[in-house]
Amino acid sequence: MDQLIKTIRKVMPAVVTEINEKRIPALESSWGRPFKEEMANENQVTVEIAKAYARPVNNTLYRHVKQELKGFQEHTTDGSDYIFEGTLIEDKNSFSPGPGWVGNGFAKTDWHMLKKFGVNDNGRITSVFIALVDLSKCQAAWSERQSNTNRSTIDFRVEDYPHINVVVGSVKMNRVKLKPIPQNILDL
């Protein structure tokens, strides 16, 4: 995983630039209005951003990593999105300032690429957190599916810290739980 971590760190400035300067303007063009108007309902904004941004963010990161690291492949099946050196990796995005991630409630592979983004009022990414985590070594686990939404959540405890490979950003250790701290894009 070390080579994947180094590669992601290397490509992230170009990834964020492409997302902010090409992919998000293309989304706004397809919506027929700017981000501020499209995402006006503050109650649902992080959920809606995650839905709208998932493909452009994931595809842009994948293309940049793949260009540098030929062994990194898409492997989109139930429970995984990528494969690297024989290891399946599930990808999860979050645009919420909270400490965790939300998933679809179905079984997933152990390795996860967990991404968290800060977005400004114009919809441009301002900060990034990425970690590679082998959940089989953590106390944290995806919650049971919620009966009315088929959603599950995950966040991490202090005891999980040794198993979290921070790629971009940092982790704040609270008394019980960990909080991912996205890194400002100007510092990538």
Tens of pLDDT, residue by residue over 6-40, are 999 999 999 999 999 999 999 999 999 999 888 87
Under the banding of pLDDT at 50, 70 and 90, the label for residue 175 is: very high
Cβ atoms 1, 8 nearer than 8 A: no
Token code pair at residue 157: 């405890």
Least confident of 98-102, 125-129, 164-168: 98-102
49: number of Cβ within 10 Å: 21
Q: How many CA atoms lie within 13 A of 126 on its CB side?
A: 8
Percent of the chain with pLDDT over 90: 71
- Confidence (pLDDT) at 141: 87
**46 token code pair:** 């992080």
Round to the nearest angstrom and report the end-to-end CA distance of the chain. 20
List 73's β-bridge partners, or say none: 83
Instruction: Read off the pLDDT of each residue in 33-53 and give the average, rounded to a whole number.
Output: 81
Contact partners, residue 91, CB within 8 Å, separation at least 6: 58, 81, 82, 112, 113, 115
Domains within the chain, CATH numbers bracketed: 2-187 (3.40.600)
What does residue 93 show for φ and ψ, rounded to 5 degrees? -110, 150
Question: Which of 13-22, 66-75, 97-106 has the weakest average pLDDT?
Answer: 97-106
Amino acid at 16: V
**With 70 as the cut, is the pLDDT of residue 43 above it?**
no
Average pLDDT over residues 99-113: 86
Q: Is the pLDDT confidence value at 42 over 70?
A: no
Other C-beta atoms closer than 10 Å to the C-beta of 186 total: 9
Per-residue confidence (pLDDT) for residue 130, from 0 to 100? 98
CA distance 62 to 154: 23
- Tokens 């959940």 label which residue? 135
CA 97, CA 73: separation in Å to the nearest integer?
29
Q: How many CA atoms lie within 13 A of 35 on its CB side?
A: 19
Confidence of residue 77 (pLDDT cuts 50, 70, 90): confident
| Beta strand 111-119 pairing with 87-94 | parallel
Dist. CA 129–CA 133, nearest whole Å: 13
The answer to whether 119 touches 95, Cβ cutoff 8 Å, is: yes
